[in-house]
Amino acid sequence: MKFSPTLAVGCRAAAISNQLDPCQLNGHIANRLLPHSSTKLRLAFDLLTRWACMAEAARQHIVSLDVAPGAATSWLELMARCPRCSSMLQNLKSQPSCSDPACEYSKSGFPLVHGQPVLIDFATSIFDRDAYRRHNGSPLKRDVTLRSIGSRLHQFTFGMNRVAAFNCAKFLGLLKKVSGRPVVLVIGGGTIGFGTGELYNDASIELVGTDVYASQHTCLVADAHKLPFEEKVFDGIWIQAVLEHVLEPHTVVAEIHRVLKRGGLVYAETPFMQQVHERAYDFSRFTQSGHRWLFKDFSEISAGPVSGAGVALLWSIRYFCRALGAGNKLSLLICLPFFWIRFLDKLARGRTVADAASGLFFLGRRADQAIDPHSMPKYYDLQL
Ligand SMILES: [Zn+2]
């Protein structure tokens, strides 16, 4: 199987079934070289070519389980798993269900929203099956394109995310050192995150976009507490502005660890000094030390503030106005003239920036052993 750089962003891996399976070629070769040979000879040739196909697929980091001539099985169909019992799934594109007859989801199946499978175990999730019978499944109104006036004013006031752009380039550079065509899972990828342009524009990266709702940037809907994938299948995972919105961040990070390949990379951005956003779906905040402990099963490559105390102050001004009854839109307008405060962040230095940061990032590599709890006080002292 080969990926095509022309595949749709966010669903590149899902669309590979449209490509010519190299194993199909083996069938043609057999027909030409062994047109009148015995069945046993053709069978031996078939087995040999199947083995060669699997070796080639493994070399490309994409394991093909179905190598029958003429087969066109997508990466998702091979790697997606039932979020309840981890069995393989069937009819992913038309009527997704679990392949294990003993599993509840073999009978009830999973819904489709905008043609994308909703691979959520509803019995243990905050999300209901009914929500995926309307719109894109999002419980909140969203500006997925980030082109609305409100989104533009927000970007003007609070600034662009240059830290994410820098870290994105670093993330991609590290991925390409270990794989020529890395497969990257984006959790919370329904809306393209700030500073991730390079990730989405790089044709050599295979993106698997997921979120709790469907968009043009996702290929399936999932709850990150139970990622519906086989173990150790991703080279990298990008999770930006998501961990504050999940009920159990430690469970989600354990899932990230499970589906990452050995030595795989994770990049996370999570708020610290930010008020409640996304209404009922906002649960946690992290200091830099708390964020590090959250990723205790990863070795740190780099970590630090995404935006400083100035941006945090802008958030406070806006939410102060909201608390006085200004409303969401008016509070943003009142905050607008204070946009210059964020430029003062450039003057801030040292550990005190992280102590008052609006948000933090962590770039790490999957490790086999957790860090020692005794190292945490020293970790704070060493923060730059
Ligand atoms: Zn199942």
The long-range contacts involving 63-72, CB below 8 angstroms and separated by at least 24 positions, are 64/1, 64/21, 64/23, 67/23, 68/23, 69/23, 69/24, 69/26, 69/27, 69/30, 70/21, 70/24, 70/27, 71/21, 71/23, 71/24, 72/17, 72/18, 72/21
Query: Domains in the chain: how many in total?
Result: 3
Q: Do 362 and 307 share a domain, yes or no? A: yes
Q: Do 35 and 175 share a domain, yes or no? A: no
Q: Is the model more confident about 236 or about 36? A: 236
Whether 70 maps to a domain, the answer reads: yes
Q: Do 63 and 90 share a domain, yes or no? A: no
Measure 222 CA to ligand 1 centroid, in angstroms: 14
Q: Mean pLDDT for the chain? A: 82
| Residue after which a domain boundary falls, among 80, 95, 125 | 80
Q: For residue 53, what is the enclosing H or E element?
A: helix 39-59
Q: Do 261 and 285 share a domain, yes or no? A: yes
Measure 107 CA to ligand 1 centroid, in angstroms: 10
Of all residues in the chain, the percent with pLDDT exceeding 90 is 59
Q: Do 282 and 197 share a domain, yes or no? A: yes
pTM of the model: 0.80
Residue 74 and residue 103: Cα distance in Å, rounded? 23
Q: Do 98 and 215 share a domain, yes or no? A: no
Could you please report the per-residue DSSP string of 278-295? STTS------HHHHHHHT
Output the pLDDT for position 283. Answer: 93
Whether 1 maps to a domain, the answer reads: no
Q: Do 85 and 75 share a domain, yes or no? A: no
pLDDT tens-place string over residues 152-172: 888 878 788 889 999 999 999
Output phi, psi for 208, to 5 deg.
Answer: -120, 100
Measure 95 CA to ligand 1 centroid, in angstroms: 14
Radius of gyration of the chain from Cα atoms?
23
Position 384 confidence tier, pLDDT thresholds 50, 70, 90: low
Position 23 confidence tier, pLDDT thresholds 50, 70, 90: very low
Q: Do 119 and 241 share a domain, yes or no? A: no
Residue 282: give its domain's CATH number: 3.40.50.150
Q: Is the model more confident about 93 or about 62? A: 93
Whether 139 maps to a domain, the answer reads: no
Q: Do 107 and 197 share a domain, yes or no? A: no
Whether 164 maps to a domain, the answer reads: yes
Measure 309 CA to ligand 1 centroid, in angstroms: 46
Measure 103 CA to ligand 1 centroid, in angstroms: 4
Bridge-based pairing state of the strands 206-211 and 112-113 = unpaired
Mean pLDDT, residues 180-201: 92
pLDDT at 56 over 60: no
Whether 144 maps to a domain, the answer reads: no
Residue span of the structural domain in which 43 resides: 14-80
Q: Whose CA is closest to 109, among 121, 212, 224?
A: 121
Mean pLDDT, residues 247-256: 98
Let me know: does 269 contact 238? Beta carbons within 8 Å: no
The long-range contacts involving 90-94, CB below 8 angstroms and separated by at least 24 positions, are 92/117, 93/117
For the record, the structure tokens of 279 come out as: 């209404």
Q: Do 111 and 193 share a domain, yes or no? A: no
Measure 255 CA to ligand 1 centroid, in angstroms: 17
| Residue after which a domain boundary falls, among 35, 63, 80 | 80
Position 30 confidence tier, pLDDT thresholds 50, 70, 90: very low
Q: Virtual CA dihedral for 35, 40, 42, 45, nearest 10 degrees?
A: -140
| Residue after which a domain boundary falls, among 45, 62, 80 | 80
Measure 130 CA to ligand 1 centroid, in angstroms: 19
Measure 81 CA to ligand 1 centroid, in angstroms: 8
Measure 381 CA to ligand 1 centroid, in angstroms: 46
Whether 7 maps to a domain, the answer reads: no
Let me know: does 1 contact 60? Beta carbons within 8 Å: yes
Q: Is the model more confident about 22 or about 361? A: 361
Angle at 235 (CA atoms; ends 232, 238), nearest 5 degrees: 110
pLDDT tens-place string over residues 282-327: 999 999 999 999 999 999 999 999 999 999 999 999 999 999 999 8
For residue 88, the 8-state DSSP code is B
Q: Do 102 and 21 share a domain, yes or no? A: no
pLDDT tens-place string over residues 206-215: 999 999 999 9
Whether 138 maps to a domain, the answer reads: no
Measure 88 CA to ligand 1 centroid, in angstroms: 8
- How far, in whole angstroms, is CA 103 from its chain's centroid? 26
Q: Is the model more confident about 379 or about 34? A: 379
Measure 269 CA to ligand 1 centroid, in angstroms: 32
Q: Do 368 and 238 share a domain, yes or no? A: yes
Output the pLDDT for position 284. Answer: 94
Output the pLDDT for position 140. Answer: 74
